Amino acid sequence: MKQKMHIHYLFWIWILFFASAEFLQPCPKVCLCKEGARSVNCSGVSLSGSLIFPPETEHLDLSSSGLSAMPSLVLRSLWKLQVLLLCRNNIAEVGRGAFRSLERLQKLDISGNVITVLGSSFSAGLSSLLELSLSHNRIRTTAGTHILLSNNPWFCDCDLQRVFSKLHSVWWLVLDHYENMTCTEPAVLRNVLLAAVDTQLCAAETETVLVITFTVFVTIVAAIVLAEWNRRRRTGKHWSEDIELSYSIHG
């Protein structure tokens, strides 16, 4: 009985040992780790495909590392990752679901690569992404993304106009049913089609700025004119006093 219990304990110790070896990976020797491996910097280092990073990594810099393919398998275990820098490599393709496990990722930089096409599943898993850089690649086409925003209580103001202006300027974004979206606030625009007034939402703000600018301009001009008038008045007074003094001396 004791021998069986001993074997049982050894079995669980063996499992815990290998589990810890899998989930508590040390910092790669070729990289620089800070804050207990939460920040891993491998920039400028020639990386091998077998490299494994600590699962607690939050900031991973793989820029200028000579990567020719997306390290999808390596990224799957980094579910805490918030910043991923893959810029200045030779990555030509972003595989299907490459970032599926990176739900906490906020910044992704893949600039300076040779990517030509972005697939429809490119953004799968990137639910927390705030910043994406794809500049200096060879992208010629990408699957269009359709956004459905109808049936929302829109507050139609100048800020909303700026947001939709930016969305309309992104050529691969399609705003479905935009022509049917209506305003809820302010009350004066309630149930009015957003598309009918979207170019006028900043008009009142622009008019206010113009009025303030004109008022300031008039005030400055008036101050300059008044100062010049006072200067000439003082100059004229001194001149007349000099003439009177000259007459009195000669007389």
* pLDDT tens track for 94-149: 877 788 889 999 999 999 999 988 776 777 888 888 898 989 999 877 766 777 78
Q: Tokens 């815990």 appear where?
A: 16
Per the listing, tokens 């429809």 go with: 120
Whole-number pLDDT of residue 22: 42
Instruction: Confirm if 91 and 116 have CB atoms less than 8 A apart.
Output: no
Percent of the chain with pLDDT over 70: 76
Higher pLDDT among residues 201 and 193, named by residue: 193
Spatial separation of the C-alpha atoms in residues 127 and 150, rounded to whole Å: 21
Q: 210 falls in which pLDDT band (50, 70, 90)?
A: low
Q: Write out the two tokens for 95.
A: 């595989």
User: Which residues make beta-bridge pairs with 141?
Assistant: 117
CA distance 10 to 199: 73
Q: State the pLDDT at residue 19.
A: 44
- Adjacent-strand bridge partners of 34: 39
Enumerate domains of the chain plus CATH numbers. Answer: 1-143 (3.80.10.10), 144-230 (no CATH)
Can you name the residues that pair with 182 across neighbouring β-strands? 193
Q: How many CA atoms does the CB half-sphere of 223 hold within 13 Å?
A: 6
Considering just the CA atoms, what is the radius of gyration of the chain in Å?
34
Angle at 158 between CA 154 and CA 161, to 5 degrees: 65
